[in-house]
Structure 1
Amino acid sequence: MINIVLCGGSGSRLWPLSRKLYPKQFYEFFQGESLFEKTLKRNSKLCSKTIIVTNSEQYDLALNQINNIDIQNNSFILEPIGRNTTAAVTLACLTLEEDDIVLVTPSDHLIMNEEEYSRVLNKAETLARKGYLVTFGIKPDSPDTNYGYIEACGNDALSFKEKPDEKTAWMYLEKGNYYWNSGMFVFKVGAFIDELKIYASHIHKLADEALKNAKTHKPLRIELEDMLQIPSISLDYSIMEKSKKLKVIPSDIGWADLGSFEVLYENLKQDKDSNCILSDGVILENSYNNLIISKDRTIAAIDVDNLIVVDTEDALLISEKGRSYKVKEIIDKLKLHKENIVKNHIITYRPWGHFKTLEEGYRFKVKKISVKPGGRLSLQKHFHRSEHWTIASGIARVTLEDKESILSSNDSIYIPLGKIHRVENCGKVELVIIETQIGDYLEEDDIVRIEDDYERVK
């Protein structure tokens, strides 16, 4: 079985933790582990290969996290722009053989009962080998209006239902044969392609053309103009709601789609006062039922109840629990006045480590660059800026044109505009560099990559 991991989206309902270039599946909610990492580790026990379909802007972040875990035999398909799940799944399937069995999973779902998960996957694989398209219906434990529903009779899927109002959701719960739509599927590639040709033949044709035009070096990169030609439509709408070959497996696997802070609160550990705290620096006095998330700042709360407090280095969200769905309205306002805070965190992740912008102003920017042991940046140059590097800690091997230097703590070097350069952590501990950029343009796209260990372009 081959796992196709869908890793797009921005997770905007979890802002300011989740942002366009750092969506919720990459945030380390679980003792330093992300939903993306948990998905790959869980499915790698059951699948021989992993194909990750993600936005090209999130590739560095995904690659960074894969390097943290022991996942073998993985590959990427990079989309320049998201076109929903039909496009993503079709692109992945067209790279496989017709007899391959695939497990399609989002990367941002939590599954607590892995033993039961393995059991239902085995049942799904049996049905898939008979030519069925199989989905998983999650047994609902509440009349939740945030999910779509599947009406079933045994393993037969009778209908798909849109997100209902509360009255309708109660009716679904009472009837007992309605399940939350998990968005996970198992099928044989050939069976899927056959259904695709019946119900969405234009998507099959356009995706096939996009793959023929894609850059063939790893990772596989789809061209923007080809991606834009593919209609943006979900797999449910394009095929699953129409197919006569669909089966559903009722599943009680401890599943949760962490799509809001309220759902996150319910699925994380709470203390004796029903507070969920993701921070070492929170002090509470007579406070109950709160979700408080912070990285470094000390937070003190007195006589507060039922609040969501999410603190990052550049943004603070405070909401009454049960009202955080309104964060989308906040994001719409931020896009008009401060769009970058919706897109980026102060910390930007790369396969070799990460960097943090400390200060910026007219014609200058100061960064803290952290490189993992053995990691090295691309061999590169800039057209619009020069750089001054000071080693704060660790040992660096610096290439500047045709010369190499070994630098350690308190050493510095000047990188003139237009000169080819590279830095590598040749020590056994993290390398930390303070970089000062000077120039008339200081954005990240002023990088020309000559060589790159991680096969990135530009």
Structure 2
Amino acid sequence: MKLVLLSGGSGKRLWPLSNNARSKQFLKVLENEKGTLESMVQRVWGQLDRVGLVDSSVIATSKSQLDMIRSQISSEVEVIMEPTRRDTFPAIALAASYIYSVKKTSLDEVVAILPVDPYVHEDFFEKIKDLENVVRESDADIVLMGVQPTYPSSKYGYIVPKEKSERNYLQVSRFTEKPSEEQAHALIEEGALWNCGLFAFKLSYLINILEEKGLPTRYEELLKQYDKMPNISFDYEVVEKTEKIAVFPYEGNWKDLGTWNTLTEEMDTSLIGKGIISEECENTHLINELDIPITVLGLSNVIVAASPDGILVSDKGTSHRIKEIVGEFDNRPMYEERRWGWYRVLDHTKIEEDHEVLTKRIGVKAGCNLSYQYHYHRSEVWTIIKGEGVFAHEDKLKVVRPGDVLQIKVGERHGLKAVTDLEMIEVQSGTQLIEEDIVRVYMKWDEVEDHCYSLTNRKDKISII
């Protein structure tokens, strides 16, 4: 069985910590068995590893989340990247075409799809292993996993089965999406299960659907036509049109940590970052990513979250409304994790109508490097404040240490490798300060060194003394 983990999200539900580049699954707020903080995606990947499913798993995601995934999990994780962000049907279709034409997987193989961030115990993933047999035994085109509800929630979709059965799966009668609590109570009485977004099918089923729609089944060809595919969910495009659907009940714990209220229920600490929560506060959480302290006095059932993107102070019961409240915010992400480290925007100022200045604090992990690149619309000044590295500038290399100031003019090629963990302040100045104004010459540092040495006839590689 192949497992496809879908990593998406607009980054609004846990604002201000989440943004378009750092969706909720990447927030490091959950404590693991070692006592360190990890993200939802790190937690899930670790669980998959422990139950032996990592080698058969791939992650389907957008370009904006690729660096975050490689930074938090592994640079070796197999990723299927959408060329443009779309809904779940095109994403799952692309994953199926990859498994079929690139991995050369048999059409009889079972493929399971699930979100990358469910909050579950390891037995949930052990249960996934049984899905393959259910798909084959049930003769259903799609088999969903349904969670036994613990209370009448209006936040989840419900799967209503037909009659009860002696088998370990049930035929599906209908679906109900996010009912009222009164309706949810009636659905539970009817034997309905929560739809946790996990389902499985034979690879042949989806490949046949692509052929029927006149869409390519070869991965490279589908990539070229991706922006022309219907921007629609898999539920609407496939599930609702499928007649033979079964559900596989799961009676263990499952939770979607999609709001500040549900997320803080699973946090082992009430304070992350600089700050104080006074003793009389009850069920109050403070998460502070800023360098200034925050104090919470006399407030109970409150979430206070602060990041470079903004500050949230909310009663937990209404925190689910944050997505609609901040939906009009369209500012650039102020913090991002990348494959090489991270950056935080310190200041962004428009000096004149056609001239901007952007200041970042950048951290590069030891052994990692920024690409060898140049820009059309901006110059940069780098000030090294921590660590040691090698700076490539206009095909020449030099060692850099704290206190060094490096000036890069428009159009000049430049790159950096960190020998130890390195931090610097970058000041960009120009007419367009956008991430798209990057022309990458080389991504790998070995290529940068080989290029520079070939021009200077040097054979000895530079090293820190």
**Normalization by structure 2: what TM-score?**
0.83
**Distance between the aligned counterparts of 1:253 and 1:280, measured in 2?**
36
Q: Which residue of 2 aligns with 1:107?
A: 116
Q: Which moved more, 1:73-82 or 1:250-259?
A: 73-82
**Distance between the aligned counterparts of 2:377 and 2:2, measured in 1?**
44
Give 1:424-439 correspondences, 5 Å limit: 424-425=417-418, 427=419, 429-439=420-430
**Distance between the aligned counterparts of 1:432 and 1:208, measured in 2?**
45
**Distance between the aligned counterparts of 2:204 and 2:124, measured in 1?**
24
Quote the offset at 1:292 in angstroms.
2.6
Pick closer, same or farther for the CA change 1:424–1:76 going to 2, 3 Å.
Answer: same
Quote the offset at 1:34 in angstroms.
1.2
Checking the alignment, whether the CA contact within 8 Å between 2:16 and 2:310 is kept in structure 1 is: yes
**Distance between the aligned counterparts of 1:437 and 1:30, measured in 2?**
35
Q: Which residue of 1 aligns with 2:97?
A: 94
Q: Which residue of 2 aligns with 1:26?
A: 26
Give 1:353-364 correspondences, 5 Å limit: 353-361=341-349, 362=351, 363-364=356-357
Pick closer, same or farther for the CA change 1:319–1:207 going to 2, 3 Å.
Answer: farther
**Distance between the aligned counterparts of 1:173 and 1:372, measured in 2?**
50
Quote the offset at 1:255 in angstroms.
1.2
2:415 to 409, 422, 436: 422
Aligned alpha-carbon RMSD (Å): 2.3
Pick closer, same or farther for the CA change 1:254–1:285 going to 2, 3 Å.
Answer: same
Is the partner of 1:305 in helix, strand or coil? coil
Q: Which residue of 1 aligns with 2:386?
A: 393
Amino acid at match of 1:247: A
Q: Which residue of 1 aligns with 2:448?
A: none
Quote the offset at 1:172 in angstroms.
1.8
Pick closer, same or farther for the CA change 1:18–1:207 going to 2, 3 Å.
Answer: farther
**Distance between the aligned counterparts of 2:216 and 2:38, measured in 1?**
33
Quote the offset at 1:207 in angstroms.
5.4
Checking the alignment, whether the CA contact within 8 Å between 2:17 and 2:309 is kept in structure 1 is: no
Pick closer, same or farther for the CA change 1:292–1:411 going to 2, 3 Å.
Answer: closer
Q: Which moved more, 1:121-130 or 1:87-96?
A: 121-130
Q: Which residue of 2 aligns with 1:145?
A: 154
Quote the offset at 1:162 in angstroms.
1.6
Q: Which residue of 1 aligns with 2:5?
A: 5
Q: Which moved more, 1:142-151 or 1:320-329?
A: 320-329
Quote the offset at 1:370 in angstroms.
0.8
Checking the alignment, whether the CA contact within 8 Å between 1:150 and 1:181 is kept in structure 2 is: yes
Is the partner of 2:98 in helix, strand or coil? coil
Quote the offset at 1:47 in angstroms.
4.3
Checking the alignment, whether the CA contact within 8 Å between 1:48 and 1:73 is kept in structure 2 is: no
Is 1:373–2:366 an aligned residue pair? yes
2:279 to 282, 285, 290: 285
Amino acid at match of 1:79: P
**Distance between the aligned counterparts of 1:81 and 1:118, measured in 2?**
27
1:444 to 435, 440, 457: 435
**Distance between the aligned counterparts of 2:279 and 2:182, measured in 1?**
38
Quote the offset at 1:401 in angstroms.
1.9
Quote the offset at 1:99 in angstroms.
2.8
Q: Which moved more, 1:404-413 or 1:72-81?
A: 72-81
**Distance between the aligned counterparts of 2:221 and 2:216, measured in 1?**
10
Q: Which residue of 2 aligns with 1:218?
A: none
Checking the alignment, whether the CA contact within 8 Å between 1:378 and 1:449 is kept in structure 2 is: yes
**Distance between the aligned counterparts of 1:105 and 1:185, measured in 2?**
7
**Distance between the aligned counterparts of 2:296 and 2:391, measured in 1?**
47
Quote the offset at 1:179 in angstroms.
0.6
**Normalization by structure 1: what TM-score?**
0.84
Cα deviation digits, residues 350-375 of structure 1 (max 9, x gap) = 11011222233324322222100110
Amino acid at match of 1:76: I
**Distance between the aligned counterparts of 1:124 and 1:423, measured in 2?**
47
Is the partner of 1:443 in helix, strand or coil? coil
Cα deviation digits, residues 96-137 of structure 1 (max 9, x gap) = 2213322211112211x21x2244223212122445422110
**Distance between the aligned counterparts of 2:432 and 2:89, measured in 1?**
39
Instruction: Identify unmatched segments of 5+ residues in structure 1.
Output: 215-221, 271-275
Q: Which residue of 2 aligns with 1:219?
A: none
**Distance between the aligned counterparts of 1:368 and 1:435, measured in 2?**
6
Q: Which residue of 2 aligns with 1:81?
A: 85
**Distance between the aligned counterparts of 2:380 and 2:11, measured in 1?**
35
Quote the offset at 1:184 in angstroms.
0.7
Is the partner of 1:60 in helix, strand or coil? helix
Q: Which residue of 1 aligns with 2:258?
A: 259
Give 1:185-264 correspondences, 5 Å limit: 185-194=199-208, 196=209, 201-202=212-213, 205-206=214-215, 208=217, 211-213=219-221, 222-223=223-224, 226-264=225-263
Amino acid at match of 1:400: H
**Distance between the aligned counterparts of 2:54 and 2:289, measured in 1?**
35
Checking the alignment, whether the CA contact within 8 Å between 1:16 and 1:312 is kept in structure 2 is: yes
Pick closer, same or farther for the CA change 1:181–1:95 going to 2, 3 Å.
Answer: same
Amino acid at match of 2:88: T
Cα deviation digits, residues 219-274 of structure 1 (max 9, x gap) = xxx45xx333211222222222342432211112321111211211222236xxxx
Checking the alignment, whether the CA contact within 8 Å between 2:66 and 2:81 is kept in structure 1 is: no
Instruction: Identify unmatched segments of 5+ residues in structure 2.
Output: 32-36, 100-104, 446-465
Quote the offset at 1:10 in angstroms.
1.2
Is the partner of 2:381 in helix, strand or coil? strand
Quote the offset at 1:411 in angstroms.
2.1
Cα deviation digits, residues 55-81 of structure 1 (max 9, x gap) = 22222222222238xxx5513222312
Pick closer, same or farther for the CA change 1:184–1:398 going to 2, 3 Å.
Answer: same
**Distance between the aligned counterparts of 2:77 and 2:426, measured in 1?**
36
Checking the alignment, whether the CA contact within 8 Å between 2:14 and 2:260 is kept in structure 1 is: yes
**Distance between the aligned counterparts of 1:278 and 1:435, measured in 2?**
27
Pick closer, same or farther for the CA change 1:252–1:266 going to 2, 3 Å.
Answer: farther
Amino acid at match of 1:89: I
Checking the alignment, whether the CA contact within 8 Å between 1:49 and 1:74 is kept in structure 2 is: no
2:288 to 290, 294, 302: 294
Amino-acid identity (%): 32
